[in-house]
Amino acid sequence: MATINYLTPEGLQKLKEEVNHLTTHARADISKQIAEAREKGDLSENAEYDAAKEAQGLLEARISKLQESLANARLLDDIEMDESKVLILSTVEVKNLKVNKVQTFTLVSENEADLKTGRLSVTSPIGKGLLGKSVGDVADVTTPAGTIQFEVIKISRL
């Protein structure tokens, strides 16, 4: 059974663009590399040809995976989401009680996570710990560095 892939409109567009780039430009580049390697002679002893064919296989596997993700994509719409609890697409301001530091995260699907921009996967330890919490709740999050407590200060939508 296929896994449903929840995406924001931006994430869906980015996925479509990547599939388009790989199926048009990257495939053409690999075909060109294979043709050039083939011209160099005996294929049984041609390392360039073998490398190009391997790269082609990896590219096709990547395209297939992305197309499957696209086929199973569901667009997330935050219009009717409850703002009283932390859900996917929530922007949540939390206070790390261990170091007394305030941080802001937006909970997104695993495919769109990017810690540098504050986009945290709902499947990450912190994301899982915050899901379902309300303002004032404290989430005990187990990380490789130990248990960290996060107090939910504010919840808003993306």
Q: How far apart are CA 62 and CA 8, in angstroms?
A: 21
pLDDT (0 to 100) of residue 2: 61
pLDDT computed for residue 55 by the predictor: 92
Q: Which long-range contacts (CB under 8 A, 24 or more apart) does 19-27 make?
A: 19/63, 19/66, 19/67, 19/70, 22/59, 22/62, 22/63, 22/66, 23/63, 26/59, 27/59, 27/63
Residue 26, amino acid: A
Q: Which two tokens stand for residue 122?
A: 């709902």
Q: Contact 129/140 with Cβ under 8 angstroms?
A: yes
Token digits of residue 1: 């059974």
Backbone angles phi, psi at 98, to 5 degrees: -70, -40
Which structural domains are found in the chain, ordered by start?
Answer: 5-75 (1.10.287.180), 90-157 (3.10.50.30)
- pLDDT value at residue 130: 93
pLDDT of residue 81: 66
pLDDT along the chain (158 residues), means of 10: 73 90 94 86 77 92 90 72 82 92 90 88 90 92 87 86
